Chain A
Amino acid sequence: MRLLIAAPTLLLGAIGLVAEAGTANHVVHACKSTSACRTHEVFVPAGVYVPFFKTGTETRSVPVDPICLSATTVTHEEFLGFVRDHPAWRKSRIKKLYAESSYLTDWQDDLTPRPEILSQPVTFVSWFAAGAYCKAAGGRLPTVAEWERFAGGSAPANKPGATADDPAGTGNSPFAFAMGRSAPELANTALAFPGVWEWTSNFNSAMVSGRIGTSAGANSSQFCGDGIRAVDPSNYGAFLRYSFRSSLRANFALKNLGFRCVREVS
């Protein structure tokens, strides 16, 4: 009995996401958009982003357009291809404005990532470098709104470290849950989170937990004030994400910070 009910739901899900032919209008629409995405991309349908911090007492909601999203973060190998074609982004040539000295620090030289890390997410990349990569690939970095929408799926309240693949939450980061988790409707796609933080195009938007550059208008977001302004004060994963993003500068190149690109659906 249960199977009978579940089957059509699964089927519908498959149509929406894998682009089977369909007749209903919304399915046709999704189908068109989906086919616009490339092999290693996941189609993220239009949706709504609820910023983690309220404005005054109001919970905001921001419409988010559909996008094609890289299923996983950019690897060393892929980034190597990029710097081959764009010498200005090689570690010996990059301008100090665009990256701090730790840029690609785990590469032996301009064109030599260690072989054993080739397929791993590239990290030690600055916001500028990540943005340039995406631009060269015909896309851009996701916005905070987009990223939070597709990757901000929340963890079970009592086990924030747990994921579907890793029920005990004992992954390479004890707080991997904060580093990305598929939105429910993308749960059955190829979308993957390898346990690194990810750059967003407007990482320097929300203001959390103090750093130079917070205004009088943003004071309520400081520290404990964050809890009062948060949509869900018990969503510690979101706190960690917003806090981490607000600790960044555009030239930072960190060990656990990578990126993926999105392309707008034409």
Chain B
Amino acid sequence: MKQFVLFAVAAFGFLSTAQAGFPDASAALGTTRASAEFDEIRGEERAVVTSAPFVPPPLNRRHATKVLLDVEVKEHTKVLADGVTYTYWTFGDDAPGQFIRVREGDLVQTKISNHPDNSVAHNIDFHSATGPGGGGEASFVAPGHSATFTWRAMRAGLYLYHCVAAPAGLHLANGMYGLILVEPKQGMPKVDKEFFIVQGEFYTNGAYGERGNQQFDMSKAVREQPEYVVFNGRVGALMGENALRMKAGESVRLYLGNAGPALMSSFHIVGEIFDDVYGEGGTKVNQHNVQTTVVPVGGSAMVDFVMDVPGAYQFVDHSMFRAFNKGAMGAIEVEGPVRPEIFSGRQSQEIFNPGTRLQRVAAVTTSAAPAPKPAQQVASSADSAIHAQGKEVYEKICTVCHQSDGRGMAGVFPPLAKSDYLMHDSERAIRVLLEGLQGPITVNGQTFNGVMPNFSLSDAEIAAVLSYVRTNFGNSGAPVAAVDVQRVRALLAKAGSEPKDRTASDRR
């Protein structure tokens, strides 16, 4: 195919040489062919661009035009993560560069300017351009210089653009990439909200999170082991205040790109299903009801969906270590009325211990203890079983901090062994297990100022573990019954301070 094209070009060159003696004929041929093959270019306009994560509005233009696009390359130090800086190379101010929106058939006159303060040569390769290097060669430019070239947006779709100057991997790993949407002539199907997200990697000499200004690490790059895998150029670019915000019921389109330069992305919104996926950023919806879509390195995808249920959502590269340990995570905040008919939220929680005698006994204990004087009743046949369950819960959850001997850790984790704080008030102890505990407390004359989460234990579990600690480690107190826990839980709920599911919120 390549051979053929080369031949065709050469042949045409000679043909036009041969015909050049008849300039009029040659010119006429040119016009006819141009109008037959391409849309007429009418007028010219500045390119419509926006900074991440926002996308320019639909063009709603019915004709092809000449688009004037200015791109400035900057090398500057920016924040990669809290306390971590890095010298980015960027199109415009940021990685990713601005989102560009043009229409199929447009002529895009691109002027790339390499800032005089920059240290190296740069260029730009539009995956949306048809021609050698995507413009890489035509736009290759030294610091303090500009280069202009023009390309025709022959094919609609969502495309990556990036710097391809040698060594191309370094330019990509330093942040030189962005997305350009070539709208189909009829436009994209209308949606209520659009955002764009580009995944990229950073290869820092320091480990993830290591503070200070970080340098590019070549050996990590060559081994394709980034310290950071992030959405929109830095850790947390789309978290917290910068989360994507939308209303339940709105139709949303995400324009996804992956600059890599090494890792394929498995883009996933936790708790949402994509209605339509334009696979690999082409113009065709090639799948419905997709949980995770692949965004190839140097490629893109578009996903359409409607968030039905309000709340906080995360999106990730589902290669989970990247999400948890390298930064590939972002958030979506959805406003709207609750939709219990679609999603209830947590209704109840019980311990699940399949097949053990303890669980069954505990369940019996809970339901078979309606009497107002539980302590005495409990202290009968089920006694040793409850002790065993309490021990089990203690060893599974509590030993991490309070240690297996209940002595805690001086100054950090308060002791349970011979603990005045624990033994003084059993109701307070129940509250601590229901709600968690935060702030300064005094135990056996020592002050502790830490955080204990609630562990979402059931009434029976709390009763069992409290009974266990109150009768062990040198403590000699009355055991606690599940009904006592139930009563405190009800009191707290009534007081309007429904125990918070803190572990769940911590996960967000």
Contacts and interface: CB of A to CB of B under 8 A. Distances in A.
Given A158-B219, A168-B215, A175-B120, A210 B142 contact: no
Nearest to B118: A256
A24 interface: no
Nearest to A235: B218
Contact of A223 (B117, B164, B218): B164
A243 B219 contact: no
A247 B170 contact: no
A255 B219 contact: no
**Which residue, B87, B165, B168, has most C-beta atoms of chain A within 10 A?**
B165
Interface stretch (A32-40, A43-51, A63-71, A159-167): A159-167
A254 interface: yes
B84 to A, nearest CB: 14
B217 interface: yes
Contacts of A246: 121, 140
Contact of B166 (A161, A162, A173, A223): A223
A234 B119 contact: no
B166 A159 contact: no
Interface in A224-266: 224, 226-227, 234, 236, 239-240, 242-244, 246-249, 252-257
Nearest to A197: B119
Contact of B137 (A102, A158, A211): A211
Contacts of B75: 174
Interface residues of A, number: 44
A102 B215 contact: no
A256 B145 CA distance: 13
B205 interface: yes
B90 to A, nearest CB: 14
Given A174-B87, A210-B133, A161 B123 contact: no
B209 interface: no
B166 A174 contact: no
Given A209-B140, A210-B140, A159 B123 contact: no
A236 B167 CA distance: 6
Contacts of A175: 119-120
A101 to B, nearest CB: 10
A239 B215 contact: no
B342 to A, nearest CB: 48
A210 B137 contact: yes
Contacts of A243: 120-121, 165-167
B143 A255 contact: yes
A244 B119 CA distance: 9
Given A160-B218, A174-B87, A209-B136, A240 B144 contact: no
Given A159-B215, A247-B121, A209 B165 contact: yes
Contact of A239 (B137, B167, B213): B167
Interface residues of B, number: 35
A224 B168 contact: yes
A234 B219 contact: yes
A157 B137 CA distance: 29
Contacts of A257: 143
A164 B108 CA distance: 47
B496 to A, nearest CB: 55
A244 B205 contact: no
Nearest to B170: A236
A253 B116 CA distance: 10
A76 B141 CA distance: 26
A242 B166 contact: yes
Contacts of A234: 218-219, 222
Contacts of A160: 215-218
A5 B46 CA distance: 70
Contacts of B218: 157-158, 160, 234, 236
**Which residue, B132, B140, B145, B205, has most C-beta atoms of chain A within 10 A?**
B140
A211 B119 CA distance: 18
Nearest to A160: B218
B144 A255 contact: yes
Contacts of A179: 119
B170 A239 contact: yes
Contacts of B219: 157-158, 234
Interface string A170-188: 1001110011000000000
Interface in A95-113: 102
B215 A169 contact: yes
Contact of A226 (B132, B138, B167, B217): B167
A208 interface: yes
Given A160-B215, A168-B215, A247-B140, A210 B123 contact: yes
**Which residue, A174, A212, A253, has most C-beta atoms of chain B within 10 A?**
A174
A255 B117 contact: yes
Nearest to B121: A247
B220 interface: yes
Given A226-B167, A254-B144, A159 B205 contact: yes
A239 B142 contact: no
Contacts of B141: 247
B216 A209 contact: no
B137 A254 contact: no
A172 to B, nearest CB: 9
B145 A252 contact: yes
Interface string B118-159: 111101000000001100111011111100000000000000
A161 B222 CA distance: 16
A61 interface: no
Nearest to A174: B87
6 contacts: A158-B220, A174-B215, A175-B119, A240-B120, A242-B166, A254-B144
Interface of B: 75, 87, 116-121, 123, 132-133, 136-138, 140-145, 164-168, 170, 205, 213, 215-220, 222
The 9 closest A-B CB pairs, nearest first, are A210-B137, A247-B121, A161-B215, A239-B167, A247-B142, A209-B166, A174-B87, A243-B166, A158-B219
Given A170-B215, A223-B136, A246-B121, 12 more contacts: A158-B205, A160-B218, A161-B205, A168-B213, A175-B120, A209-B140, A209-B165, A210-B132, A211-B137, A223-B166, A243-B121, A254-B144
